[in-house]
Structures are given as structure tokens and as C-alpha cells.
Amino acid sequence: MLRNIISRRKPKLRRLQRRCIQSESTVFAVPPPTPTPNFPGEPLKPSIKGSIPGAKSQELMKRLDQYQETRTQHFFVDYEKSMGSYIVDVDGNVMLDLFCQIASLPIGYNNPALIEAYDSKEWKTALINRPAIGVAPPSNWPDLLENSFMSVAPKGLNQVWTAMCGSCANEIAYKAAFMHHQYKKRGSADFSPEELSSCLNNSEPGSPDISILSFRGGFHGRLFGSLSTTRSKSIHKLDIPAFDWPVADFPKSKYPLHEHEAENRAEEDRCLDNVRNILQNNSNVAAMIIEPIQAEGGDNHANPYFFKNLQQIAKEFDVTFIVDEVQTGVGATGKFWAHEHWNLESPPDIVTFAKKMQAAGFYHNIEFRPQQGYRNFNTWMGDPIRALQLQTTLQVIKDLDLVENVKITGKYLHDGLNQLQDSHNVLSNIRILGTFGAFDLPTPQVRDTLQTKLRNNGVQMAPCGDRSLRLRPMLTFTPDHALQFLQILDTTLHEL
């Protein structure tokens, strides 16, 4: 039934695009078939009426600037008119969205399955009555956990802690790792009077000198603990006190990975030795955290070899191994969890999530549940309406075979970008896993110019790292959408 809801749509898009395979100077392959049907009511293509941001967006920015920061905003959105993979601004400009609310939208704007679910009594009750889950959970909360979060739990992990955002998911995961670390030292003994009193003065032994190891280029959030492990951009960290925690090198890979195996293996071994040296000289490291792809830091990739050996080092030094899947999770890499590409012999100790999950938190096993209540705790501890949204989203992903669509679309997108790299010398370092990808431009200025021109030609993208543009489409992004993007990118590159 759900597939029938999604596939009710005019068939013009596929026919139109297949008559337009050739763009400015590049002939792209015919888009391959995909099991995912067309999105109902979606625009046929981008439509730009004027420069972006337009007059209405600029007026709204002027009003909003009286009360809130506006310098980061691209434009104001008409969310009622946005549909599928297309975002519509208040000036009527229709753009193909490859940024998707900072990589957080999985199944398209105004997905009919979510609209239908919204009409249910269960959804309305959850919207009107927000509970403090830690003390008064709703009667359907166990069912919701089983049908949403736990139905896609990483293999080998059977516990979930629900949070509010990616930053707090990581922050609370750190607390769980710290408490587990200290429990292993203390055993079943009660807290000492000295521990109980000293922690209120932020001093030892109650506030121990222990740390989280992170990696250069990583991004894990903007709260105090998560910001201390963020190592991507200075602007995120300036003026904020930080914990004096260790940082290791992340591999500076050459792309494509498979064409530079020897150089990349040497670089990965160097970084693994760096981690080992840090742990040998820092006995206070309780955990390490790493992203499968360093997203905000520039879409930095490494081979499964690196991650598998990193986990082994963590086990050797009895350090909690945390995988930050806030941006890479939920199918974008062609597997539901990006760390599945590593083929680990045992699961990570903790996997954090947010964004496309429509909710946030972390998976773990029972040993990371604190021995006492109220230690990892807050008022909301998640939100049932987001669990309901995730439940419907996961059903759409399953019914429409969206992870398979990502694999098919990702290969077509990768091949097309490689063609453009061959014909435009400003493009370099194409790297994509599924549809989660990026490419480099010669300088930050050229990157920023291309981003602006793409937006005014009908494609919404965003930067990462020093000189990269990232691709973060929805799971409903098909090869037909990819062809549209490739054609617009080809045209726009000729305008540079």
C-alpha cells in the first residue's frame, strides 16, 4: 500500500531527463533503473525565478535579525510547497536539495507516509503531551522503542539511550564511558566520602582526571565535552574553555582509495602507531571517538583496515570504542550503519546517532548503563513523537528499498562525477560511499563561488573542510535526480 501511495505521480520526469542526457560538454549514461518509485507531486526539475536569497527572504532575514542570528542562513523556505528532493524558497525558487537540512532528511519533504501517520490518534497524543520519559514514560514507550530504535540497532548492541541532538548524544555517551571506566576501577564498592565531597568542588578523586581521545579533523558537537573532541574548524572552538584531552592523527588519504593502496596503507599505519603511542603515554584515556567518514572536517575517508585495527588497539588498552554515526547513519553510505562496511569481528562499544534518525541517542550494551539511577538523566530523555516519526521513516526505507536505491544511485553519481573530473580540471578528489560524498575545488574561494552559482542554477549544496563541497541527498534521491545534478554541475563549472 505504501509503495502505491509513493508512486502516484506523473511519469514525465524520467522521460524528460532521458531526452536530455547530453549537457554542456559531457554525455552521461542513461540513468539505471532503481526499485524506488518516483515521489508523488515532486517538481519535474529546478526552477529559478531570480537571485537567491530573493526579496522576500531578504526581508524576512532583516526582520529576524532583530532577534536572532541570521548570518548563517541561506534563504527562507516554503515547507508546504517543498516536495521530495526539491526545496522551495519563499520567493518561489525550486532547488534540487543535496544538503537536506544538514544531512538530516531521509525520505523527502512532505512524504505522504508521514502525512498519513500524522492523522493518527497516537501521533496527536504524543504531540500534545510531551512526557518526562525518565520518570513518567507513556504506556506505548516499550513498543515504540522496539518498533523504531531497536529494530535497526547495530548488530551486537541491545540497549539504547535516547537524547535530543547529535551533540548531546555524544556528550552523554562520554559520560557513560567515564562512569563505566570508573566502575571497572571501583568495582561494586560504594562511593567514598572523599569522592562524594570532592566532586562538588570539581576536584579529584570525585572528578577524576580522565579523557576522551579524538582525531584531527573530527566533528562531534558543540557542547563542552563534545566540543573538546571536535577538531575540525577553529571558529567552532574559539573563546570556549576546553578539556585538555589528547588528539590523534586521522589518515590523510589519497583518492580514489583503491588506486593508492600502498600510500594509504603506510599513512594508516602511521596514524595507528600515533594512537598506540598516545595510549601508551596516557593511562587516563577512558574512550576514543571516531567518525566513519569525517564529514564536517572535509569528508575524509579511510579504509576498513584502519578502523578494524583501531578497534583492536582500543581493546588492547581497555579503552571504550565509540563510533559517531550522527551524520553517516541511516543508509546514506549504502549500508544502514557506515561502520558495517568495516566488517568488525565484534561491535563497537557505543554507536551514537541523530540527523536522519529524526531522533538522537546512542546504542550500547548493559555494562554501559550506570549502576545508579539519575546519573545519565535529563527532563525529556528523548521525545515520543520523534520515535513515531522514526518508526514510519524506517517502514518507508524498508518498503521502498531505499538503501538499495542509494547503492544504485551512488554508483551512477560517482561515475558521472568522475566524467566531470576528467573534463573540468577544477574538480579533484572525488570520494563517495553510497551517495555520501564530496569533491574538492582548487581554493576555498573557488569552492564558495561554485556553491553560490549552483544555488542560483537550482542546486542547494554546502561546504565542508577547507575547499570541499559535500553531497548529502535524501535516500529517495534517484539516478534521475543524479543526472539532473550532474547536468547542472557541468553547466555551472563552465561559468567559473
Active site residues: 219, 324, 355, 379
| DSSP bridge pairs for 94 | 47, 88
Q: What does DSSP assign to residue 462?
A: E
Q: For the chain, give the longest Cα–Cα distance.
A: 77
Give the type of residue at 147: N
Helix (H, G, I), strand (E, B) or coil at 328: coil
Q: What b/e string do you get for 8-29 counting C-beta neighbours within 10 Å, with b at 16 or more?
A: eeeeebeeebeeeeebeebebe
Instruction: State the Cα–Cα distance between residues 11 and 19, nearest whole angstrom.
Output: 14
Give the C-alpha distances (Å, rounded to integers) separating 62 from 65, 91, 201, 483: 5, 15, 45, 36
What residue has cell string 593502496?
261
Judge contact between 472 and 99, C-beta under 8 A: yes
Instruction: State the Cα–Cα distance between residues 261 and 263, nearest whole angstrom.
Output: 6
Judge contact between 286 and 212, C-beta under 8 A: yes
Judge contact between 207 and 194, C-beta under 8 A: no
